[in-house]
Amino acid sequence: QQPVQSPQAVILREGEDAVINCSSSKALYSVHWYRQKHGEAPVFLMILLKGGEQKGHEKISASFNEKKQQSSLYLTASQLSYSGTYFCGTGGSNYKLTFGKGTLLTVNP
Amino acid sequence: GEEVAQTPKHLVRGEGQKAKLYCAPIKGHSYVFWYQQVLKNEFKFLISFQNENVFDETGMPKERFSAKCLPNSPCSLEIQATKLEDSAVYFCASSQRVWWNTEAFFGQGTRLTVV
């Protein structure tokens, strides 16, 4: 089942912070975060595993609430290069990564 | 190689024609995945492989889509008798270990346009 992302879109000024949320109705083993710029491939940002392990990006942090099947991606002091569509992907017992519909982030000067 | 290589970058086919897409995973990666991304940016899972074995094919429209990952060859995704609705960007990704536990690296995609 597809995870639900919110918000659908967000516009920031450079230096502002943003939070993108991802929730699932199913029990999760992992949550993945990717960023895709227009016309490009998705790029891995972060993976959060059941049990608390995290692997990912230096300047981006995320949380994973296993009980609520929710994850949040925190973008602090945003830069112009952060613009793009952010996707969360959830991994469950079916060993399939299912992506949300994406959150379009626009960072303006 | 150090990146997932997909060919061709663009493919145009007339409705009813065959389309074949290729993907060379990163060397040493055991898992390969195909996703279809349509205009609204949604990713639809198609199929995954563990080496040359199909791991999960629940997303494949089996009547027209087929895929293979053979030893020492790029993986392929073939669409027989393409339809207008097959127009999309097809992404291949590979990962070193099982998908849900590790990062995946995506190729640049193949944009298929069916006219």
Neighbours of B105 (CB within 10 A): 19
* Closest to A103 measured CA to CA, from A30, A52, A35: A35
What confidence score (pLDDT) does residue A97 get? 83
Residue in B closest to A49 by C-alpha:
B101
What confidence score (pLDDT) does residue A66 get? 85
CA–CA gap between residue B23 and residue B2 (Å, rounded): 13
**pLDDT at position B46 over 90:** yes
What confidence score (pLDDT) does residue B98 get? 73
CA–CA gap between residue A45 and residue A86 (Å, rounded): 9
* CB contact (8 A) between residue B108 and residue A40: yes
Tokens 């074949």 sit at which residue?
A: B20
Chain A 32-51, residues with CB within 8 Å of chain B CB atoms: 32, 34, 36, 40-44, 47, 49
What are the φ/ψ torsions at residue B64 (nearest 5 degrees)?
-125, -20
* Closest to B113 measured CA to CA, from B89, B94, B79: B89
